[in-house]
Amino acid sequence: MTTATVTRPRTVAAEVVKRVKGRYLSPLASLALLVVMFVAVVARYDFASPAQVFLNLFVDNAYLIVLAVGMTFVIVTGGIDLSVGSVVALSTVIVASALQASWPMPLAVGTVLVVGPLLGLLMGLVIEYFDVQPFIVTLAGMFLARGLCYVISVDTLPIKDPVLRVIGLNYVYLYEDKFIRWTVVIAAVVVVAAVYILHMTRFGRTVYAVGGNRQSAQLMGLNASGARVGVYAISGFCAALAGLLLAVQKLSGYSLNGIGLELDAIAAAVIGGVLLSGGVGFVLGSVIGVLVLGTIQTFVTAENLDSYWTRIMTGALFLVFVLVQRLVVRKPG
């Protein structure tokens, strides 16, 4: 056996370890945390059906999964979108008020799915072509969308459309008596589409390249500007769709919906392994992050604690994962 033969397996092993440490450590840690937390919660409270409790994590957080998917695209480019919680609220108010005004349901839903991406596109254009920080632009978008909610209505607007009620209330049985709702099916379709776009298309490769090093991406002939604008349009679409899912889940629209949801989406993405500085992240990792937050909520509810404990635990966990990210990406010396 030659020295080269011995060295090569070691080199391959070192490369695998380096790749796992750089890209997969955070999502794998998040997956392990989810398993440990869920098993601990189930063991502590002896739920009658642990499988249904797990499925309920998806049922209760379908809208947040969609929101976190959109946020993943933005953060991978090194950006941030603080407007999504307000866009969720605006979407619930638009669809509910349009239905009350006797609009056809497809037109009401279609309007929401146009307004969200349009707002995202406008913010992306300002960020890219006026060179304004994403934090500032999306903060302005947050205030704008929330203000529009109040202009449309400050009251809770019930949704009585039969199709939307079916989507929000009817069960989709998987096996025996285990079920999800149609909102979870819609969220799953979004996740599959996002995985394909981000990991298997030229646009997705450009998104990663922009987040890693924009100058290098441009030198390779990639459309960095288009990708940077496009991710905000995608985030706006996901926020609009998340608003629709929340509206059918609650069967109402309300201008105060979605307060703080942008922080939940960011936390879910970061806990799931999306690097805040950009260039690294996975859609499925963000989904795991949402499930971790859902498990925290399940624990708080089962323990009969005040709701603010959810925020405290989420904030602490978010800080831990941010620190882990910094330690992983920090260069020696």
Is residue 239 helix, strand or coil?
helix
Residue 193 domain-assigned (yes or no): yes
**Ramachandran class of 176: left when φ > 0, alpha when ψ lies in -120 to 50, beta otherwise:** left
Dihedral sign from CA coordinates of 117, 123, 128, 129: positive
pLDDT at 6: 47
| Domain assignment of residue 21, yes or no | no
Closest CA to 84 of 156, 134, 151, 129: 134
Residue type, 13: A
Q: Locate tokens 């323990």: which residue?
A: 303
pTM: 0.92
Q: How many domains does the chain have?
A: 1
Helix/strand/coil (H/E/C) assignment for every residue in the chain? CCHHHHHHHHHHHHHHHHHHHHHHHHHHHHHHHHHHHHHHHHHHHCCCCHHHHHHHHHHHCHHHHHHHHHHHHHHHCCCCCCCHHHHHHHHHHHHHHHHHCCCCHHHHHHHHHHHHHHHHHHHHHHHHHCCCCHHHHHHHHHHHHHHHHHHHCCCCEECCCHHHHHHHHCEEEEECCEEEEHHHHHHHHHHHHHHHHHHHCHHHHHHHHHHHCHHHHHHCCCCHHHHHHHHHHHHHHHHHHHHHHHHHHHCEECCCCCCCHHHHHHHHHHHCCCCCCCCCCCHHHHHHHHHHHHHHHHHHHHCCCCCHHHHHHHHHHHHHHHHHHHHHHCCCC
- 2 within some domain: no
Specify if 317 maps to a domain. Answer: yes
Structure tokens given for 19 = 């790749």
**Full pLDDT tens readout for the chain, 333 residues:** 555 544 555 554 454 455 555 578 778 989 999 999 999 998 888 777 899 999 999 999 999 999 999 999 999 999 999 999 999 999 999 999 999 999 999 999 999 999 999 999 999 999 999 999 999 999 999 999 999 999 999 999 999 999 999 999 999 999 888 999 999 999 999 999 999 999 999 999 999 999 999 999 999 999 999 999 999 999 999 999 999 999 999 999 999 999 999 999 999 999 999 999 999 999 999 999 999 999 999 999 989 999 899 999 999 999 999 988 888 776 554
**Any domain includes 194:** yes
| Rounded CA separation 210/205 (Å) | 9
The residues, ordered by sequence, that sit 6+ positions from 170 with a Cβ below 8 Å of its Cβ are: 181, 182
- Calpha distance 229→74 (Å, rounded): 9
**What range does the domain containing 274 cover?**
31-36+49-326
Q: What is the pLDDT of residue 16?
A: 45
Residue 264 lies in a domain: yes
Look up tokens 């769709």; give the residue.
241
Does 118 reside within a domain? Answer: yes
- Compute the distance between CA of residue 70 and CA of residue 73 in angstroms, rounded to an integer: 6
| CA 197/CA 231 separation, integer angstroms | 11
**Within a domain: residue 304?**
yes
CATH number of the structural domain spanning residue 165: 1.10.3470
Alpha-carbon distances of 187 from 66, 174, 268, rounded to whole Å: 6, 16, 15
Burial of 291 (0-12, 13-18, 19+ CB in 10 A): buried
Dmax (CA) for the chain in angstroms is 80
In whole angstroms, give the CA distance from residue 197 to residue 262. 22
Tell me, what amino acid is at 206?
T
